Amino acid sequence: MLRIDEATMKAVEAWAAEEFRSVNGQLEWIITKALREAGRLPGPQQQAPARKKTEEQKNNSAESD
């Protein structure tokens, strides 16, 4: 069971509907994305934050040029 306030649940339901996902699928996607960005997924998926960091570094260096 997941305890979540009504406003948050409505926002998740709307987001899920916009992306043609079930609420469960949307919550799983949100959790997986957050874990990947935090570098907390085991295995090869943990490489995603490094790519993101590299893209941010490229953007920052392009702005300073």
* pLDDT per residue as tens digits for the range 8-65: 999 999 999 999 999 999 999 999 999 999 999 887 655 544 555 555 566 666 666 5
Q: Indicate the DSSP class of residue 7.
A: H
Q: Is 40 helix (H, G, I), strand (E, B) or coil?
A: coil
The pLDDT score that the predictor gives to residue 7 is 98
Give the residue extent of every domain in the chain.
6-64
| Under 8 Å between Cβ of 41 and 26 | no
* CB atoms inside a 10 Å sphere around CB 26: 19
Q: Which residue bears the tokens 């709307």?
A: 14
This prediction has a pTM of 0.62
* CB atoms inside a 10 Å sphere around CB 48: 15
The pLDDT score that the predictor gives to residue 43 is 72
Q: What is the distance in angstroms between the CA of the first residue and the CA of the last residue of the chain?
A: 51
